[in-house]
Every structure is written in C-alpha cells, then in structure tokens.
C-alpha cells in the first residue's frame, strides 16, 4: 500500500480534506468502482503473507487499491481500502497464470468484492 508520504512524492495527495478525494498521478490502471452484477467473488482473508513483493498495483487515487503480490512462488492479491475495516485483506494464493487472470478480472470489473472478513 502506498503511504501518504509516498503518495505525496508521486504527486498524489488529498485535494480536499473534507471529502478525502485524491488527485490522480495517472500512472496505474483504474478498476471499475463496482463489479458487474453476475461477477464471481473472491474469498478474502486478513492472513498476511510473509515477505511479499508488489509486482503491479492500481492507482492510489481511489479509496480502494489492489496490489498483485509475489510470495515465494505463489501469487496473491492485496486489497487496501481506506474506508473500511479491516483495511488490508488478501486473496490467493494461486499459480501465476491463474493470478494474472484474476488480476485482469479485477481491472475489468469481472470479479466481485466478495465477503470481507470480520474485523
């Protein structure tokens, strides 16, 4: 997840403290705000993988940011939401090909949010 300090360095910071809207640096994809009605859902967990590396991420201008993570030969998706608890949840692990397909489905809105774990 991009911290506020990192966001400021990238030119992305809240433009309005009242609404917490963020300016867009325009360097990452923007998934749809809502998935399609019939979209399959992911199962999310708060179990954090150890020593993961972010390979791709969506734009931090949205309140929800997705990251494509590599963790010891497996791949996961991290979802960070500034507006809900728990803030960070994870889906996966999968093999690379399956994870890439799921990542593309997130970017196109073809996968739903699913049920978030209780905080």
More confident position, 101 or 16: 101
Predicted structure pTM score: 0.72
Cα–Cα distances in Å, from 118 out to 1, 18, 20, 74, 114? 20, 28, 25, 25, 13
Q: How confident is the model at residue 80 (pLDDT cuts 50, 70, 90)?
A: very high
Model confidence pLDDT, tens digit, residues 25-64: 667 887 776 655 555 688 889 998 889 999 999 988 888 8
Q: Domain map of the chain by residue range?
A: 28-119
Other CB atoms within 10 Å distance of the CB of residue 6: 11
């Amino acid at each position: 997840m991009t911290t506020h300090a990192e966001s400021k360095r990238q030119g992305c910071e809240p433009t309005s403290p009242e609404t917490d809207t963020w300016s867009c640096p325009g360097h990452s994809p923007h998934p749809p705000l809502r998935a399609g009605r019939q979209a399959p859902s992911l199962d999310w967990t708060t179990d954090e993988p150890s020593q993961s590396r972010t390979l791709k991420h969506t734009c931090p201008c949205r309140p929800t940011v997705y990251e494509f993570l590599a963790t010891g030969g497996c791949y996961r998706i991290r979802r960070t939401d500034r507006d809900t608890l728990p803030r960070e949840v994870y889906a996966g692990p999968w093999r690379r090909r399956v994870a890439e397909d799921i990542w593309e489905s997130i970017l196109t809105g073809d996968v739903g949010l699913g049920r978030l774990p209780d905080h």
